[in-house]
A and B are shown apart, each in its own frame.
Chain A
Amino acid sequence: MSHLLQAIGFGVVTASIVALAAVAVSLQISVTNFFNFAFGDFMSFGAYVAWTANREGVNFFLSVLLGGIAVGLLGMLANRLVFRPFMRRRVRPVTLLIAGVGLSFVVQDALILIWSPAPRRFPLNLGQAMHLGPFLLTPGDLIMIGASAVLLLLLHLMLGYTKFGKAIRATSNNIDLAQSCGINCDQVISLTWFIAGLLTAVAGVGLVLQESTLSPTTGFTELFVIFGAVILGGIGRPYGAMLGALIVGVLTEVSGAYLNAAYKTSIAFGVVVVLLLFRPQGLIKARGLIS
Chain B
Amino acid sequence: MLYFLTDLMVLGSINSIMVVGLNLQYGYAGLLNFAFYIYVAIGAYIAAVTTMGPSTTPGISYALGWTLPWWAGLIIGGLVSAAFGTLVFLLTVRRLRSDYLAIVTVAVAFIVWNLIDTYQPLFDGDTGLFNVPQITGNASISTEGYSAIILALSAACLAVSVWVSRRIFRSPFGRLLRSIREDEQVTAAFGRASWRPQIAVFMVGSFLAGIAGGLLIFYISAWSPSAFLPLESFILLAALIVGGSGNYWGSLLGAFVLIEGLGEISRYVPSFGNGADVGALRQVVIGLVLILMLRYRPEGIIPERWLRWYRTRQPAPAAAGAAGPAPDGGPVPAASPRPAPGPVASPRPGPAAAGPDGVLLDIRDVTYSYGGARAVAGCSFAVGRGTVTGLIGPNGAGKSTLVEILSGRLAPQSGEVLLDGRSIGGLGPVAVSRLGVARTFQTARVLPQLPVIENVMIAAPAQRGEGPLAAVLWQRGWRGQETALREEAVELLGWLGLGSHLDRPAGSLSGGQRRLMEIARALMARPRLLLMDEPTAGVYPETSQLIARRVREIAAAGVTVLVIAHNMTFLSWAADDVVVMAEGRVLTRGPLQQAREHKDVIAAYLGVAAGESHGPRPSSVGGGE
Most chain B beta-carbon neighbours within 10 Å: one of A98, A117, A269, A276 = A98
Task: Say whether A291 contacts B290, CB under 8 Å.
Answer: no
- List the one stretch of B278-286, B332-340, B384-392, B535-543 in contact with chain A: B278-286
Smallest CB-CB A-B distances: 9 pairs: A105-B287, A102-B290, A106-B287, A112-B280, A116-B274, A109-B283, A93-B99, A109-B280, A269-B107
CB distance from B225 to the nearest CB of A (A): 12
Which residues of the partner chain A approach B308 to less than 8 Å between Cβ atoms?
Answer: none
Which residues of the partner chain A approach B106 to less than 8 Å between Cβ atoms?
Answer: 224
Residue of B nearest to A92 (CB): B98
Which residues from 236 to 291 on chain A have a C-beta closer than 8 Å to any C-beta of chain B? Answer: 260, 262-263, 265-266, 269-270, 272-273, 276-277, 280, 289-291
Please measure, in the bound complex, the distance between the C-alpha atom of A95 and the C-alpha atom of B241, giving whole angstroms.
11
Q: DSSP majority for the B interface?
A: helix
Which residues of the partner chain B approach A164 to less than 8 Å between Cβ atoms?
Answer: none
Task: Say whether B286 contacts A117, CB under 8 Å.
Answer: no
Tell me, yes or no, whether B291 is within 8 Å of chain A by CB. Answer: yes
0/1 interface trace, chain B 18-33, chain A, CB 8 Å (1 if under): 0000000000000010
Task: Say whether A117 contacts B280, CB under 8 Å.
Answer: yes
Tell me, yes or no, whether A35 is within 8 Å of chain B by CB. Answer: yes
Tell me, yes or no, whether A34 is within 8 Å of chain B by CB. Answer: yes
Tell me, yes or no, whether B500 is within 8 Å of chain A by CB. Answer: no
0/1 interface trace, chain A 93-105, chain B, CB 8 Å (1 if under): 1111111011111
Task: Say whether A291 contacts B276, CB under 8 Å.
Answer: no
Task: Say whether A116 contacts B95, CB under 8 Å.
Answer: no
Task: Say whether A101 contacts B234, CB under 8 Å.
Answer: yes
Please measure, in the bound complex, the distance between the C-alpha atom of A260 and the C-alpha atom of B125, giving whole angstroms.
14
Which residues of the partner chain B approach A102 to less than 8 Å between Cβ atoms?
Answer: 238, 286-288, 290-291, 294
Partner-A contacts on B (CB < 8 A): 32, 91-92, 94-104, 106-108, 110-111, 114-115, 117-118, 234, 237-238, 241, 273-277, 280-284, 286-288, 290-291, 294-295, 298
Residue of A nearest to B114 (CB): A266
Which residues of the partner chain A approach B274 to less than 8 Å between Cβ atoms?
Answer: 116-118
Partner-B contacts on A (CB < 8 A): 34-35, 82, 85-86, 91-99, 101-106, 108-110, 112-113, 116-118, 224, 227, 260, 262-263, 265-266, 269-270, 272-273, 276-277, 280, 289-291
Task: Say whether B294 contacts A113, CB under 8 Å.
Answer: no
Task: Say whether B294 contacts A270, CB under 8 Å.
Answer: no
CB distance from B398 to the nearest CB of A (A): 24
Cβ-defined partner of A35 (8 Å) among B94, B103, B295:
B103
Cβ-defined partner of A101 (8 Å) among B91, B237, B276, B298:
B237
Q: A93-B99, A117-B276 are in contact. Are A105 and B234 (CB under 8 A)?
A: yes
Task: Say whether A112 contacts B290, CB under 8 Å.
Answer: no
Q: A105-B284, A109-B283, A110-B284 are in contact. Are A97 and B294 (CB under 8 A)?
A: no
Residue of B nearest to A110 (CB): B284
Task: Say whether A112 contacts B277, CB under 8 Å.
Answer: yes
Residue of A nearest to B272 (CB): A113
Task: Say whether A272 contacts B103, CB under 8 Å.
Answer: yes
Task: Say whether B281 contacts A109, CB under 8 Å.
Answer: yes
Task: Say whether A277 contacts B104, CB under 8 Å.
Answer: yes
Task: Say whether A101 contacts B290, CB under 8 Å.
Answer: yes
CB distance from A231 to the nearest CB of B (A): 8
13 further A-B pairs in the complex, CB-CB below 8 A; given A86-B295, A276-B96: A35-B99, A94-B32, A102-B291, A113-B277, A113-B280, A224-B110, A266-B110, A276-B103, A276-B107, A277-B94, A277-B104, A290-B100, A291-B97
Please measure, in the bound complex, the distance between the C-alpha atom of A124 and the C-alpha atom of B557, giving whole angstroms.
84
Which residues of the partner chain A approach B290 to less than 8 Å between Cβ atoms?
Answer: 98-99, 101-102, 105
Task: Say whether A106 contacts B241, CB under 8 Å.
Answer: no
Cβ-defined partner of A224 (8 Å) among B94, B107, B275:
B107
CB distance from B25 to the nearest CB of A (A): 13
Which residues of the partner chain B approach A116 to less than 8 Å between Cβ atoms?
Answer: 273-276
Which residues of the partner chain B approach A96 to less than 8 Å between Cβ atoms?
Answer: 99
Q: Mind listing 27 A-B residue pairs with CB under 8 Å?
A: A82-B291, A91-B298, A93-B97, A93-B99, A97-B99, A99-B291, A99-B294, A99-B295, A101-B234, A102-B288, A103-B287, A105-B238, A106-B283, A106-B287, A108-B283, A109-B284, A109-B287, A117-B274, A117-B280, A224-B110, A263-B114, A266-B115, A269-B111, A272-B104, A273-B107, A276-B107, A280-B96
Please measure, in the bound complex, the distance between the C-alpha atom of A95 and the C-alpha atom of B348, giving whole angstroms.
41
Q: A112-B276, A290-B96 are in contact. Are A98 and B241 (CB under 8 A)?
A: yes
